[in-house]
A and B are shown apart, each in its own frame.
Chain A
Amino acid sequence: MKVLSLGKRSVAVLAAIGLAVGGTVVSAHAATAPAFIDCQLFAAGEPDHIDPALTSTLVGANVATMLFDGLTDTDANGNLYGEVASKWKSPDGSKTWVFTLKKGLKFSNGESVLPSSFVNGWKRSMDSKLASEVAYHGDFILGMNAYSTGKGAFPASSVVANDAAMTLTVKMENPTADWPSIAGHSVFSPIPTSMVGASDKVEEDGTKLVGNGPFMLASAITKRAGGEVVLVPNPNYGGKASSISKLTAKIFSDTNAAYNAFASGQCDSGPIPAGRYTELLTKWGTKGVKSTLGTDYWGFNWEDPTVGGKKNKYLRSAIAKAIDRQQISDVIYQGVRKPATGLLPPGLPGYKAGQGLTATRDLTGAKADFKRWSDAGNKVSSPLRISYNDGAGWDKVASIIIANLKEVGIPAKLDPYPADGTYFSKMRKGQGQIIRAGWFADYPIADNFLYPLLHSKSIDGDNLERYNSAAFDALIDSARSTTNKSFSQSQYRRAEIQALRNDVVITQTVNRGIATVLAPSIATFPITPLGMVVYDQIVKN
């Protein structure tokens, strides 16, 4: 999962109050506040990074957002709020954005957080020599792509800091109404002057990765598997003080080992091994369960002679109607991932329920559609290939889909690929037939789903179906170029219907969710819709 995000405190309002009393409050608080130990599951070699400029995984980004505060953030209810920025406006129809920053905020080393701290941070994270995997998020900024690909200098005229007036002016490549949401991504974090030009190994020295978030690194992160990341409250933090005095994230390379450590009382939270959601959530409670801004779906290769194109619509709609989303949700995810009704997940601004062709199973409809397609002289000459990347339980979802299709009389077979990278690169080249896909929001905006996943300009990229529809493209293009929020919203909704109902190029299955088991002493465990645990607001009895 390549997920990035923001998320933290929803209490930015309190920042100014906390400021007055400063560090003493934090340290006095720390003496009485409980510590929290997270038995976190990290895959092999993870966290990839906890440096906000480099991390591209959920676990890494979660630590990074605890260490760094961005201009904006999304709270546990999915609302955008100013974190370092107090307000923002665009004088010219989203072509330029001016952020006004709060005064008096500090990094953990005492240095002030200024508009130029952001310029320094972006100069570092977009540097082609740092080669960050997430640098492309900067492409929204005028001239940034040339810098991040090593073809040009940093576009100083596009990112202008005025430290005296505490304003940061950003020029966009194209009008971008959603820029304030995008600017909350951790790749846009500020850095102190001591981190200017820091290498990709700065996190391995605990004293050098210095942020402005509620926590700071207590020691270096060296070991991955078998090691731990230890965070302590940032004494110079300007926002509300952390509710816990210490956060220890233990790193395991295996879900079972992590759960066992949790169950034996070594940690306050832990992951749930596959297939044991019902059992363990019954046992430990459901406070750690949260629906997140992600959707799983299966796409049809638009260029495939059997399933693709306008003429095979009724085969696709038969498949979409045959899939038993409830069964997938119950058997595989045991309710943690719930049946989806459209591509955009609930909680995303602009979400509307029921945008997909169908959310419930319609066996009669599936049989009728299949018959209609067959009567037109079509037939499935060899079993349809259900392609997926192995190792994350997709084989089980695919097995259910095959069984579902069998009842309609549509033959299908499993088509597994060994590694994620191989799978996605083959699918991008159009080698799939029925394609396992999914998306997790980078920023909570509709465009972050519809443009990369289905626009014809995203072919060879995340448009795995190679879907090419002039009607769909026109809707998205018009939504992108307008500053009228309600008009763009309705255009995005029409586009979703165009792809999911009129063309049936993809069919959604379930919305994503996170499930964590928690020790009985944990009273509150806030998680943002972007999957970030808000550690500084954990309440432990």
Chain B
Amino acid sequence: MFTYTVKRLLQSLIVVWAAVTLMFALFFVIPGDPISLKSGEKALPQDILDNIERKYGLDKPVYVQYLRFWGNLFRGDLGYSYKNDKSVNTILHDGLSTSARLLFWGALFQLIIALTVGLTSAIKRGSLGDRIGTVFSVGIQGIPVFVSGLLAQYLFGVLPFQLHWEWLNFFKPWPQSWHAGVIPGDSWKGIILPALVVAVVDAAFIARMLRSSLLEVLRADYIRTAFAKGLSARRVWFHHALRNALIPVVTVYGTSLIAIFGVAVQTEKVFSLPGMGSTIADSALSQDAPVVLGLAIVVIAFGAVVNLIVDLSYALIDPRIKIDAKAVH
């Protein structure tokens, strides 16, 4: 297990390095001359563009820029925005505080929805609730996040406002504090819609996973034995069935976390939240390469860590994987 962990860890580092290098190429090398793009409706004289290039070190050869980029990265310096000279570290901090809250509440709602729907449809298999759950979980896969976001804004923002049903109006400003949502008051309302929109995408998928995994476990011999031994249904469900059924679900949950960035970008854009996703999107459009790259590194590292954890937990749960891993490498 130790050698496997070390090996896998090294692989993750290589993956992060390769991905960051790819991003560097995509945003720093391929666009050619990002500073010349600063000329908008009013042209900037070449001398001025040269000054700006010198300021950001873009007059140096690409390999020097690349080495300097890694050097600064190891010192914890992500560089400065081409647009307003703000430190990317600060931009990252600002964006992260919003995105982290969005994802925290989103993940929490996701878990609640997935468990409720998944359990209900497994326990009451074939019932009306199960069928609704199935349709819901299949259906949600066809709805892109930005559409469900706009729909939510209409149903819980525009419509209640026009009908003067203020109690149903959840389209409120994004709260600035961490604890909003726990402490009573009005600010929690601003979290509900964006977090739900983030939650439902994969909640449906996880609920289905849970349902089929539960049904499979229930068919297993040891559950039948447990029932035969006369253990209470509640004990069998929670102690035996759920525990075993959750293992595949947890790994699916991990992989869905990697994809969550794409969801966050759309949610933040639809709800105009100043998070990482919308910052990256806006910066990419205005070719502010240091900001894009600085924030992307965090997303990439996050993805790599989640991948690593998923793989390691696979190895822990299922010893056969180790053998397979040895065979492959």
Interface residues of A (CB under 8 A from B): 1-2, 43-49, 54, 128-129, 131-133, 135-136, 139, 145, 148-150, 200-201, 204, 222-227, 252-254, 256-257, 260-261, 266, 391, 419-422, 424-425, 428, 437-440, 442, 452, 460-462
* B interface, size bucket: 35 or more
**Bound state CA distance, A460 and B46, in angstroms?**
10
| Contact B38–A133 (Cβ < 8 Å) | yes
20 A-B contact pairs sorted by A residue (CB < 8 Å): A2-B42, A54-B85, A131-B52, A131-B54, A133-B44, A135-B48, A149-B47, A149-B48, A222-B86, A224-B86, A224-B91, A225-B278, A226-B94, A253-B278, A419-B287, A421-B38, A428-B39, A460-B43, A461-B43, A462-B41
Contact for B47 among A44, A54, A145, CB less than 8 A: A145
Closest A residue, CB atoms, query B284? A44
The reply to whether the CB of B160 lies closer than 8 angstroms to some CB of chain A is: no
The reply to whether the CB of B282 lies closer than 8 angstroms to some CB of chain A is: yes
Closest B residue, CB atoms, query A255? B272
The reply to whether the CB of B45 lies closer than 8 angstroms to some CB of chain A is: yes
**Bound state CA distance, A145 and B54, in angstroms?**
17
| Contact B84–A49 (Cβ < 8 Å) | yes
| Contact A425–B36 (Cβ < 8 Å) | yes
**Bound state CA distance, A139 and B44, in angstroms?**
12
**Interfacial chain B residues near A420, Cβ < 8 Å:** 37, 40-41
Interface contacts beyond A131-B55, A135-B48, A223-B274: sample of 20 additional A-B pairs, CB < 8 Å, sorted by A = A44-B285, A45-B83, A45-B286, A47-B84, A136-B44, A149-B48, A201-B86, A226-B98, A226-B174, A227-B94, A252-B272, A253-B272, A253-B274, A261-B173, A421-B38, A422-B37, A424-B43, A425-B36, A428-B39, A439-B41
| Contact A419–B278 (Cβ < 8 Å) | no
| Contact A46–B83 (Cβ < 8 Å) | yes
**Interfacial chain B residues near A224, Cβ < 8 Å:** 84, 86, 91, 94, 274
1/0 per position for B52-81, CB-CB distance to A under 8 A?
101100000000000000000000000001
Closest B residue, CB atoms, query A45? B83
Contact for A201 among B44, B85, B279, CB less than 8 A: B85
The reply to whether the CB of B186 lies closer than 8 angstroms to some CB of chain A is: no
The reply to whether the CB of B116 lies closer than 8 angstroms to some CB of chain A is: no
Given contacts A1-B41, A425-B36, contact A45 B48 (CB under 8 A): no
Given contacts A44-B282, A204-B86, A424-B39, contact A150 B94 (CB under 8 A): no
The reply to whether the CB of B50 lies closer than 8 angstroms to some CB of chain A is: yes
**Interfacial chain B residues near A254, Cβ < 8 Å:** 269, 272
| Contact A421–B272 (Cβ < 8 Å) | no
**Interfacial chain B residues near A421, Cβ < 8 Å:** 36-40, 287
**Interfacial chain A residues near B87, Cβ < 8 Å:** 201
| Contact A45–B288 (Cβ < 8 Å) | yes
**Bound state CA distance, A240 and B288, in angstroms?**
41
| Contact B286–A419 (Cβ < 8 Å) | yes
**Bound state CA distance, A131 and B50, in angstroms?**
9
**Interfacial chain A residues near B36, Cβ < 8 Å:** 421, 425
Closest A residue, CB atoms, query B51? A131
| Contact B272–A257 (Cβ < 8 Å) | yes
**Interfacial chain A residues near B41, Cβ < 8 Å:** 1-2, 420, 424, 437-440, 462
| Contact B286–A129 (Cβ < 8 Å) | no
Contact for B51 among A128, A425, A461, A462, CB less than 8 A: A128
**Bound state CA distance, A261 and B84, in angstroms?**
25
The interface centre, meaning the residue of B36, B41, B50 with most chain A CB atoms within 10 A of its CB, is B41
Closest A residue, CB atoms, query B40? A420
**Interfacial chain A residues near B84, Cβ < 8 Å:** 45-49, 224
- Least CB distance, B243 to chain A, in whole angstroms: 42
Closest B residue, CB atoms, query A4? B42
The reply to whether the CB of B90 lies closer than 8 angstroms to some CB of chain A is: yes
Given contacts A226-B274, A424-B39, contact A253 B51 (CB under 8 A): no
- Least CB distance, A213 to chain B, in whole angstroms: 20
**Interfacial chain A residues near B37, Cβ < 8 Å:** 419-422, 425
| Contact B40–A253 (Cβ < 8 Å) | no
Contact for B40 among A2, A47, A129, A227, CB less than 8 A: A2
| Contact A135–B39 (Cβ < 8 Å) | no
Contact for A133 among B52, B81, B285, B287, CB less than 8 A: B52
| Contact A200–B48 (Cβ < 8 Å) | no
Of all A-B residue pairs in the complex, the 10 with the closest CB atoms, nearest first, are: A421-B37, A44-B282, A226-B274, A257-B272, A225-B274, A149-B47, A131-B51, A45-B83, A131-B55, A254-B272
**Interfacial chain B residues near A43, Cβ < 8 Å:** 282, 286
- Least CB distance, B31 to chain A, in whole angstroms: 9
**Interfacial chain A residues near B286, Cβ < 8 Å:** 43-45, 419
**Bound state CA distance, A419 and B274, in angstroms?**
22
- Least CB distance, B153 to chain A, in whole angstroms: 9
**Interfacial chain A residues near B191, Cβ < 8 Å:** none
**Interfacial chain B residues near A460, Cβ < 8 Å:** 43
**Interfacial chain A residues near B120, Cβ < 8 Å:** none
**Interfacial chain B residues near A128, Cβ < 8 Å:** 51, 54
**Bound state CA distance, A149 and B52, in angstroms?**
10
- Least CB distance, A348 to chain B, in whole angstroms: 17
Contact for A419 among B54, B81, B285, CB less than 8 A: B285
The interface centre, meaning the residue of A391, A419, A421, A422 with most chain B CB atoms within 10 A of its CB, is A421
- Least CB distance, B35 to chain A, in whole angstroms: 9
**Bound state CA distance, A139 and B47, in angstroms?**
11
**Interfacial chain A residues near B269, Cβ < 8 Å:** 254
Given contacts A129-B55, A225-B274, A226-B274, contact A49 B43 (CB under 8 A): no
**Interfacial chain A residues near B279, Cβ < 8 Å:** 44, 225
**Bound state CA distance, A133 and B285, in angstroms?**
20
The reply to whether the CB of B200 lies closer than 8 angstroms to some CB of chain A is: no
**Interfacial chain B residues near A222, Cβ < 8 Å:** 86, 90, 94
**Interfacial chain B residues near A223, Cβ < 8 Å:** 94, 274
**Bound state CA distance, A48 and B291, in angstroms?**
14
**Bound state CA distance, A462 and B285, in angstroms?**
23
1/0 per position for B209-230, CB-CB distance to A under 8 A?
0000000000000000000000
**Bound state CA distance, A419 and B36, in angstroms?**
12
| Contact B50–A266 (Cβ < 8 Å) | no
**Interfacial chain A residues near B55, Cβ < 8 Å:** 129, 131
Which residues in window 275-300 of B have CB below 8 A to A?
A: 278-279, 282-283, 285-288, 291
Closest B residue, CB atoms, query A428? B43
| Contact A44–B85 (Cβ < 8 Å) | no
**Bound state CA distance, A440 and B42, in angstroms?**
9
**Interfacial chain A residues near B285, Cβ < 8 Å:** 44, 391, 419
**Interfacial chain B residues near A47, Cβ < 8 Å:** 84
Contact for A1 among B40, B85, B282, B283, CB less than 8 A: B40
Contact for B282 among A253, A260, A452, A462, CB less than 8 A: A253
| Contact B40–A424 (Cβ < 8 Å) | yes
**Bound state CA distance, A452 and B44, in angstroms?**
11
**Bound state CA distance, A150 and B39, in angstroms?**
20
**Bound state CA distance, A383 and B190, in angstroms?**
50
**Bound state CA distance, A510 and B285, in angstroms?**
27
**Bound state CA distance, A428 and B45, in angstroms?**
12
| Contact A49–B282 (Cβ < 8 Å) | no
**Bound state CA distance, A44 and B44, in angstroms?**
21
**Interfacial chain A residues near B173, Cβ < 8 Å:** 261, 266
**Interfacial chain B residues near A150, Cβ < 8 Å:** 51, 54
| Contact A45–B54 (Cβ < 8 Å) | no
**Bound state CA distance, A135 and B44, in angstroms?**
10
**Interfacial chain A residues near B98, Cβ < 8 Å:** 226
**Interfacial chain A residues near B85, Cβ < 8 Å:** 49, 54, 200-201
Closest A residue, CB atoms, query B282? A44
**Bound state CA distance, A289 and B91, in angstroms?**
34
Closest B residue, CB atoms, query A204? B86
**Interfacial chain A residues near B83, Cβ < 8 Å:** 44-46, 48
